[in-house]
Every structure is written in structure tokens, then in C-alpha cells.
Amino acid sequence: MNLGLQGKLAVVSGSTAGIGFAIAAGLAAEGARIVINGRTQERVDAALTKLRLEYRGAEFTGVAADLGTAAGVEAFVKAVPTADVLVNNLGIFEIKPFLEIPDEDWQRFFDVNILSGVRLSRYYLPYMLKKNWGRILFISSESAQQIPVEMVHYGMTKTAQVAIANGIARSVAGTGVAVRAEGGVVQSIL
């Protein structure tokens, strides 16, 4: 498949394992230059080693930063000042009955699952608009529509991601920038 990403710089948040790692690998296979992210340098280095072995010739860099905080996003964008593709994959989840979810957990889920993508999108979107080309993808989940009773706080963040992506998409209509929320499928936006 040719998604037209040859040489494009793609940032994938939360990409040292799982879905984010797979997305980074898939984008690299399409010829994109990839920036992966994790909270610790050790995890970033381990993921980079694995990716570089599997995708020889692809260009990977990594930045360790806690994107669930404003300071972490600030450090990240200082290290990566531009991006053609932004995949907002960072997310946390936990199983906890609604009546046992304290305010601190609601805030933590909001900061990590929602504000990380909001902050990164707000930073990279002007660059994309100036070039009249860019892609922003929020990795959501079916939990956005079918809120899991054991993870209401997680489901709420996935619904918010869909709303944010739709709002940004409407604000850039008519430009070369596309914005969507998907449940793990990258090809539909790129």
C-alpha cells in the first residue's frame, strides 16, 4: 500500500509498546520518518533498537517525555519542533467500578488521554496549516460509543477524543489537513 508518506515526519505518542509501537512500525513501512515516545529513556531505547532491527533503512528517533503533563509536552515539542503526521495514541486504562473512581483518577485520565493529544495537536497544527498538508489522528476506541461499565472514566476520555477530533476537523475543512479519531486504524486517515 502507498499512503504517500515517503519522507514525512510522523510523531506517535505512547509508542514504545502495543498499538503505538505497531502504528510506528506501519508508518515506517510506508517510508515515513518516525519519532516514538515513552515516559522513560530505557523504554524508548528498547523500542528504537527493536524497530531499527526490524525496519532496516527506516529512520527512527525517540524522545522520552511524560506527555500527560504540560512540562512533558513542552520538552517533547522542543526536541521535535515540527511534524507532518501526529498520531495521538497515548492512553491509560484501568478496571475500576464507577463508585470507586476518585477525582484524582478522573483528572489523571483527562490529563493523559485527552490533554496530551490536545496539547500536541495545538502545537503541530499551525505548522501543518502553513504547509497545507498534515494528518492528525486520535486513537480512540469502541469504548467511545459503548462505555465499559467497569471503566467509565476511560470511556469518557475516548468519547472526548472523538469530539475533539471532529471539532478540529471542522475547523480545518477546506485545507490539506485531515483530522480524525479512529479505533486503531491508521490507513483511513492517511
Known catalytic residues? Answer: 154
Q: How far apart are CA 20 and CA 12, in angstroms?
A: 6
Burial 3-23 (b: 16+ CB within 10 A, else e): bebeebbbbbbbbbeebbbeb
Q: How far apart are CA 155 and CA 106, in angstroms?
A: 11
Type of residue numbered 89: N
Q: Can you tell me whether residue 7 is helix, strand or coil? A: coil
Strands, sheet with 9-12, edge to edge from the N-terminal-most edge strand: 60-64, 33-38, 9-12, 85-88, 134-139, 177-182
